[in-house]
Amino acid sequence: MKNKYKSYWRKSGLKGKWGEIYLNHLDEFKPKNFLEIGVFCGVTARNTCEYLNEIHGNTFSYIGIDLFGGKKEAVSDEIEPTFLEKQNFSNPLKKIYYNYIVKENLNSLESNQKFLKKFKNNIKLIAGDTNIVLKSIDLNHIDYVFLDGGHSYQTVINDLEILFRNLKGKNKVVLCDDYGKASFIKEVKNAIDDFSEKNNIQIKIISNRFAELIF
């Protein structure tokens, strides 16, 4: 494939080879209507939209859900990235640029809208807690979900159950991050395991990090 995962000099959860592995998985299924739960700073969203635009032109759709700096509403024990508190970067130049020069919160809705404005006619960004907002979104047309939002057991279970009930048709792909040993979060793995056992869904581990579920 032509597209390579780019960092765009922002913060991303898919560093190094992981972005390439993610895009390769996307290329395997070539979805047209995409849902991302956990937009963070928009880097995966931008790479996804660039890819979808390349294979589908202007006919693709992307929905992204995140708190975008807002307060979680339903789960008190949510696990949040430490980056969101003080926007610390390993690169000191990024810290100076974003925190003191442009004074931009990369996880804010405004920052993500600006970063993704190239695809403004194809995307919809929703600010909110998925425990509250996900069930009100029309998911009929969605054929691929990247799940990397709230990391508490309850949130992951709730997200998966809502997706399972509302994704219509066959072969709907849900790719979950932080399942395997390469990026392991216990609560996430336990939730995926329990959901899959309950609903008799097979888990395919991708590169010892992601869990692929097909409904």
Distance CA 24, CA 26 (A): 5
Q: Which CATH class is domain 17-214?
A: alpha beta
Pick from 116, 12, 7, 125: which is nearest to 67 by CA?
125
Predicted pLDDT of residue 70: 72
pLDDT of 117 > 60? The answer is yes
Lowest-confidence range among 64-78, 88-102, 138-152? Answer: 64-78
Which of the residue ranges 12-16, 46-50, 203-207 would you say has the lowest mean pLDDT?
12-16
pLDDT of residue 1: 53
Report residue 80's pLDDT band, with 50, 70 and 90 as the boundaries.
low
Instruction: Read off the pLDDT of residues 165-190 as tens digits, 9 standing for 90 and up.
Output: 999 888 999 999 999 999 999 999 99
Contact, 39 vs 112, CB < 8 A? Answer: yes
User: Can you give the pLDDT at residue 69?
Assistant: 84
Average pLDDT (25-32) is 97
Of the two residues 25 and 3, the one the predictor is more confident about is 25
3-state SS, the chain, equals: CCCCCCCCCCCCCCCCHHHHHHHHHHHHHCCCEEEEECCCCCHHHHHHHHHHHHHHHHHCEEEEEECCCCCCCCCCCCCCCCHHHHCCCCCHHHHHHHHHHCCCCCCCHHHHHHHCHHHCCCEEEEECCHHHHHHHCCCCCCCEEEECCCCCHHHHHHHHHHHHHHCCCCCCEEEECCCCHHHCCHHHHHHHHHHHHHHCCCCEEECCCEEEEEC
The per-residue pLDDT for 144 is: 98
What is the overall mean pLDDT for the chain?
Answer: 93
Q: Which whole number is the average pLDDT over 16-30?
A: 96
| pTM of the complete model | 0.93
Question: How much is the pLDDT for 20?
Answer: 96
What pLDDT was estimated at residue 84?
A: 66
